Amino acid sequence: MSTISIGQAAVLGVVEGVTEFLPVSSTGHLKITEGLMSIPVDDTSVVGFTAVIQVGAIAAVLVYFFKDITRIVSAWGRGLTHREERHNHDYKFAWWVIYATIPIVIVGLAAKKLVEGPLGSLWVVAGSLIVGSGAMWAADQMGRHKRGEDDVTFKDAMLVGCSQILALLFPGFSRSGATMSTALVLDLDRGAATRLSFFLGIPALTGAGLYELKDAVGARVGAVPLAVGTAVSFVVAYASIAWLLKFVAKHSFNAFVIYRIVVGVGLLGLPATGALNA
């Protein structure tokens, strides 16, 4: 029997698609949803399932930003063979994304058992949601929002890329929340911070999904639920990306801060009442 049914896979796909790129912690929301549906959150195949359906969300980024990604990859390819092309910002940016992904790969492999074990507790998720909210609010207030996407430097990319480690070690912190907050502290405007978060998420999340694939397609998760969850994640994530970019163009991150605090406080009460197993 599959650990996850087709209906549960569809629900988890919706949750993943909505929350992956919003700064609210997709991992936290997936753990909560799995717990409410009595899915064993610490099961290896379930951990793998949640990582694989992220690939659906990443595919949505690839489709949504296809022109930008094609331009950057093309510039990178030209720069590899033509020295004069190496002054192109897109060529440099491609390398920066690669370099900025290395730290989270190293930490992810080294701390895998820790992340899947004690750091996966709902207490950690709840605390990270609340603490991360404070960090996001402070970053939005501190940032001067004066630098655009063309102003991104190697230093920016590395600092924002390294901030993904926070979300890896403390699931409720949110990868998007950590990267956007760091970018705001570096004075990038909200639009540039959001787009940089998207681009840095592509290699990290794709790699995690492919790495966990072997566990997800094991005996306890069927291929059909996995396909359904991934497909639903793609469709919902595409709509979520479009909405988020429009939202940050005119609004601060305060709505997300308030939402995270409410969810974090509520989550602290669920294990205590026995509604969820921490």
pLDDT at 276 over 70: no
- The overall average pLDDT reported for the chain is 88
Which residue in 171, 164, 207, 191 sits closest to 58, CA to CA? 207
pLDDT (0 to 100) of residue 85: 92
> What are the backbone angles phi and psi of residue 188, rounded to the nearest 5°?
-70, 150
Residue 55, pLDDT score? 85
Q: Please report the pLDDT score of residue 62 as a whole number.
A: 92
User: pLDDT at residue 206 above 80?
Assistant: yes
Question: Residues 187, 147: contact at Cβ < 8 Å?
Answer: yes
| pLDDT confidence bin for 105, thresholds 50/70/90 | very high
pLDDT in tens, 152-178: 999 999 999 999 999 889 888 889 999
pLDDT band at 61 (very low <50, low <70, confident <90, very high): very high
**pLDDT tens by residue, 237-249:** 999 999 999 999 8
What's the mean pLDDT in 217-245?
A: 88
| pLDDT at residue 51, as a whole number | 80
| pLDDT at site 218 | 58
The span from the CA of 186 to the CA of 157, in Å, is 10
> Using one digit for the tens of pLDDT, what is the confidence trace for 107-143?
988 988 887 777 777 788 889 999 999 999 999 999 9
The pLDDT value recorded for residue 7 is 94
Q: Which long-range contacts (CB under 8 A, 24 or more apart) does 159-162 make?
A: 159/186, 160/100, 160/186, 160/196, 160/197, 160/200, 161/97, 161/99, 161/100, 161/101, 161/103, 161/104, 161/200, 162/100, 162/103, 162/104
Residue 66 has pLDDT above 70, yes or no: yes
- In this predicted structure, the answer to whether residue 46 has a pLDDT above a threshold of 90 is no
Pick the closest to residue 201 from 13, 23, 12 (CA basis). 23
Tell me the C-alpha distance between 229 and 140, whole Å: 33
Binned at pLDDT 50, 70 and 90, residue 77 comes out as very high
pLDDT for the residue numbered 45: 77
Tell me what pLDDT residue 119 has: 78
Give me the residues paired with residue 147 across strands. Answer: 188
Residue 275 has pLDDT above 60, yes or no: no
Asked if pLDDT for residue 211 goes beyond 80, the answer is: no
Q: 193 or 213: which carries more pLDDT confidence?
A: 193
